[in-house]
Amino acid sequence: MSPTQWDFPVELCCRPMAFVTLTGLDVVYNAVHRAVWDAFCANRRADRVPISFKVLPGDHEYPKCRPKRTSYEWYIPKGILKTGWMNKHLNLVPALVVVFYELDWDEPQWKEKQSECATRVEIVRQSLQGRNTKVAVVLIQKKTPLPPGEDVTASERAAALCNACELSGKSLFVLPHTDHLVGYIIRLENAFYEHAQTYYYTEIRRVKSHKEFLNKTTHQLLFVRHQFKIAFFSELKQDTQNALKNYRTAYNLVHELRAHETNILEIKTMAGFINYKICRLCFQHNTPLDAIAQFRKHIDLCKKKIGSAELSFEHAAWMSKQFQAFGDLFDEAIKLGLTAIQTQNPGFYYQQAAYYAQERKQLAKSLCNHEASVTYPNPDPLETQTGVLDFYGQRSWRQGILSFDLSDPEKEKVGVLAIQLKERSVVHSEMIITLLSNAVAQFKKYKCPRMKSHLMVQMGEEYYYAKDYTKALKLLDYVMCDYRSEGWWTLLTSILTTALKCSYLMAQLKDYITYSLELLGRASTLKDDQKSRIEKNLINVLMNESPDPEPDCDVLAVKTAQKLWSDRISLAGSNVFTIGVQDFVPFVQCKAKFHAPSFHVDVPVRFDIYLKADCPHPIRFSKLCVSFNNQITSVDLVLGHETGRCVVLNWQGGGGDAASSQEALQASRSFKRRPRLPDNELHWDSIVIQASTMIISRVPNISVHLRHDPPALTNEMYCLVVTVESHEKTQIRDVKLTAGLKPGQDANLTQKTHMSLHGTELCDESYPALLTDIPVGDLHPGEKLEKMLYVRCGTVGSRMFLVYVSYLINTTIEDKEIVCKCHKDETVTIETVFPFDVAVKFVSTKFEHLERVYADIPFLLMTDLLSASPWALTIVSSELQLAPSMTPVDQLESQVDKVVLQTGESASECFCLRCPSVGNVEGGVATGHYIISWKRTSAMGNVPVISTVITLPHVIVENIPLHVNADLPSFGRVRESLPVKYHLQNKTNLVQDVEISVEPSDAFMFSGLKQIRLRILPGTEQEMLYNFYPLMAGYQQLPSLNVNLLRFPHFTNQLLRRFIPTSIFVKPQGRLVDDTSIAAA
């Protein structure tokens, strides 16, 4: 966009920098000069001093300085600020003119050169006549200078040169053209900067000095002008604090000016400029709140200063510009690091700017509606001699006239007319849209989605006014869903109405139909007469006719649209439109409902489709289609016929649109009692969409029985008999059985449970826990089938077993033969128990319990097998597998072969063993294993025998010093001699002193050594022979043998009693009956 009269001048918006001109540089043909110039102007980063440089010829004419005024008494200012002033001090009048001159200190022709340099300086001075601009000389030298003070020629010649050029020593510089050019340049420009600051300082002083000559009645304008100039010079001096202070003063002074319709534009223009500067500096000083406060004050002061009513659109334009400029400043500050918030961001200012632009448009529309016969005045009152105004904000036809009375009302009228006619050609919509879209971008950034939508609606409406219906529709369509999803129906209806107009004017069939559908629906807040009109139009469109125009449309646009519509009719093309309704709220509602949440395969599935029309007049539909897979995937409802136009309304799933879920929620919350309706009618709210149903398999008609004898015994092949009986009316096919551990139980059970179909061999680890899909063939009606399954449980505990029978059957439903798959399952919990408990104990040969056994001395191992099974068990055999450390004393054959044990019965075995001396073993000596082979007594012959292995306990072996054993008959007889031989074995490596005595007993007489002391050599044996003579019959105490070992006092008689018998059965003296008894005697 080209700048308009309302845009701020560039010189106001830029950052003022000290202006320095460089002369004597030939940047085109001289490479050295070019390099110097590049070093000045290229890569000016923020750390360089703020100077704007310009290369000018040495004889450049600077703007002439007007002669100094000695008195202001008769001076009457013609305006506040001249339009050229800012530019003059930014770009035309330098603070410093630098004369570059190539001259080395050892120049042979020094004199000539010196005077040439002086001449150049003089020429510059001439053209700056009357200005305070500083002049400086820079000598470009080929040689690197010596350190100061060392080069005597240099200092002499420098002094001479200064003298010749009338320069102070501070204004002469040397620029050696060496490697460090940029470094020298930076030092140079810092020095320039100081000179420039001094210049602006004196300028400020100069302007201030005028003040005392001013008086408040005639020089009000000058107060503002001077204050502005001081502030502006301060800015050039980079003294922003003072600049701000002075601008603030200037701002207050502007508002003290006497305002009248004739000068109000000038006052507002200047107020706007100064306000802009203040806000800009506040943002620069990082005091955004000050900027905002100033701006609000500015707006409050100015918004009522409308000025001429005939040109009130100018005020709106000015206001719009104020807001826009502030928005730009705010936005720029944010880009430099300021943080804005949701309720205070540039978006608001752009929004206000847009509102004023809209107001401008409306005012312009009402004020500039001249008839076509009114022509632009000639000569143009807006033309000036120079093409520009002398003062900011003045009228071109009365520049510099300060009188509040209109000297020439006719001229004024022509001028106003010219401005009004010019305003007609302004494209307002474009400006409004630009501002709105700026605001949209901001509100998007600061989390204001609704504000954003609102502004987008306005943008859409503005496009509509600008007759760009495509863009309007695009924007409106984009935001519609936001209002729809939040249920703001009033707003949605308003947007839809505009959208409908757009689609009508463009003859966009599908959009037109869609918006009509929604405007007729329940979300629309339109009155019934409007709805009737839209419905009528819709029906027309469906019949391939043109609709009536929408109300309040542009007449010309309607004409174009009517043409477009008639073209649409004649054009042959696709006239079928499919419209998905889930994203909007159409005037037909749909609810699909299955009768039941689930159906069996061989039963017809039933469902209802409910439709409800919300439009004011009846409407005819031509078709209804329902699509399925396992659920209703979509419902299509067709409006119109293929012959005309056809609209397919498509509901995904079982119906429902953008508003229906909230309605359903409200309906479900409601406790309202609905009035009774006739039987065939339903309340719409009470219908709940049920778009899916479960299709479940046909009810099986077979029986599955399980026969088994629980509990199962550990490790046995437990038999499960499955009986399947068909009750179907026809043959069933492909019967399959799945049986085994029900999945989903403890994982350890899976490891310890194994299934097999064969009971004749034992399962091992490789067998699965679940047998799947065992084919068992076909079954005729009433036929029965038995299948034996074997399960082996390795651990005790309860398990769930699953038996699942599936089959196929042909059935006829509604004259159609279908194959149904049916299944039936049974679950059973089986407990597994140990078949028997085994107890093992060690006893002495005298059947006395042993805590420990003695080396080399025989002992007995007794096993006790107690049946825990509720079923009779057969012990097939048992086996004792001895550890290497144990030796059997006699044969180890099983004593319980073929024994049948009922519940609670037990079977015991006894083995005589001996354990050689093994020294001291921690934890005892391993005994071996006891293996029992068994089966259920009831099991058939081919059922395998189960071997249960019992690990026998360890036993502690102890050495004893002396072992005594006795040889004596199994019984005695009264008055018959009973010979008893005691063997005493020394088990140690020592010679043993043994004291032996025999105590008398009442039941016996005896002969033999009654008391003796003897020695037994290591490893040898001593025999003691006694002859006992029983005197009484019965179980009699033997005369007790006492042994006393002198070396082993711990060897007690008590220990001894374990080895030797202490009593014997004595039979009474019998009669001699036969020879055998005689021989025995």
Partner 1 sequence: MAVCVAVIAKENYPLYIRSIPTENELKFHYMVHTSLDVVDEKISAMGKALVDQRELYLGLLYPTEDYKVYPSHQLCRYGYVTNSKVKFVMVVDSSNTALRDNEIRSMFRKLHNSYTDVMCNPFYNPGDRIHSRAFDSMVTSMMIQVC
* Binding residues vs partner 1 (CB under 8 A): 303, 342-344, 348, 352, 355-356, 358-359, 447-451, 454, 457, 483, 486-488, 490-491, 494, 662, 665-666, 669-672
Cβ closest to partner 1, residue 100 vs residue 483: 483
Q: How many angstroms separate the CA atoms of 535 and 618, rounded?
A: 10
Residues with Cβ within 8 Å of residue 976, at least 6 apart in sequence: 1029, 1030, 1069, 1081
Supply the minimum distance, in Å, between the C-beta of residue 289 and partner 1.
11
Q: How many angstroms separate the CA atoms of 935 and 944, rounded?
A: 8
Supply the minimum distance, in Å, between the C-beta of residue 449 and partner 1.
6
Supply the minimum distance, in Å, between the C-beta of residue 330 and partner 1.
13
Supply the minimum distance, in Å, between the C-beta of residue 303 and partner 1.
7
Cβ closest to partner 1, residue 493 vs residue 756: 493
Q: Is 913 left (phi over 0), alpha (psi -120 to 50) or beta?
A: beta
Supply the minimum distance, in Å, between the C-beta of residue 66 and partner 1.
44
Supply the minimum distance, in Å, between the C-beta of residue 488 and partner 1.
6
Residues with Cβ within 8 Å of residue 1080, at least 6 apart in sequence: none
CA distance readout (Å), 322 to 260, 319, 866: 21, 5, 108
Q: How many angstroms separate the CA atoms of 287 and 346, rounded?
A: 15
Question: Which 3 state secondary structure label does DSSP give 655?
Answer: strand
Cα angle for residues 485, 487, 490 (degrees, 5° grid): 130
Cβ closest to partner 1, residue 151 vs residue 663: 663
Cβ closest to partner 1, residue 447 vs residue 612: 447
Supply the minimum distance, in Å, between the C-beta of residue 360 and partner 1.
11
Supply the minimum distance, in Å, between the C-beta of residue 276 and partner 1.
20
Cβ closest to partner 1, residue 452 vs residue 935: 452
Cβ closest to partner 1, residue 449 vs residue 1070: 449
Cβ closest to partner 1, residue 453 vs residue 508: 453
Cβ closest to partner 1, residue 101 vs residue 326: 326
For residue 805, count other CB atoms closer than 10 A to its CB.
26
Question: Which 3 state secondary structure label does DSSP give 811?
Answer: strand
Structure-token pair, residue 468: 């760009």
What is the torsional sign of CA 699, 704, 710, 712? Answer: negative
Which residues in 158-168 are b (16+ Cβ under 10 Å) and which e? beebbebbebe
Helix, strand, coil percent content, the chain, rounded in steps of 5: 35, 30, 40
Whether the CB-CB separation of 846 and 627 falls below 8 Å is answered with no
Q: How many angstroms separate the CA atoms of 897 and 894, rounded?
A: 6
Supply the minimum distance, in Å, between the C-beta of residue 228 and partner 1.
28
Supply the minimum distance, in Å, between the C-beta of residue 453 and partner 1.
8
Supply the minimum distance, in Å, between the C-beta of residue 489 and partner 1.
8
Closest by Cα among 68, 82, 85, 74 to 209: 68
Structure-token pair, residue 93: 């009048």
Supply the minimum distance, in Å, between the C-beta of residue 342 and partner 1.
5
Cβ closest to partner 1, residue 300 vs residue 529: 300
Could you give phi then psi for residue 986, rounded to 5 degrees?
Answer: -85, 115
Q: How many angstroms separate the CA atoms of 379 and 414, rounded?
A: 10
Q: How many angstroms separate the CA atoms of 515 and 895, rounded?
A: 102
How far is residue 593 CA from its own chain's centroid?
36
Cβ closest to partner 1, residue 569 vs residue 664: 664
Cβ closest to partner 1, residue 216 vs residue 669: 669
Cβ closest to partner 1, residue 6 vs residue 391: 6
Strand partners, 784: 725
CA distance readout (Å), 44 to 15, 24, 27, 284, 594: 15, 22, 18, 20, 78
Whether the CB-CB separation of 575 and 645 falls below 8 Å is answered with yes
Cβ closest to partner 1, residue 223 vs residue 350: 350
Cβ closest to partner 1, residue 666 vs residue 827: 666
Supply the minimum distance, in Å, between the C-beta of residue 674 and partner 1.
13
Closest by Cα among 997, 966, 1001 to 981: 966
Q: How many angstroms separate the CA atoms of 761 and 752, rounded?
A: 17
Structure-token pair, residue 494: 């308003």
Whether the CB-CB separation of 455 and 358 falls below 8 Å is answered with no
Supply the minimum distance, in Å, between the C-beta of residue 446 and partner 1.
9
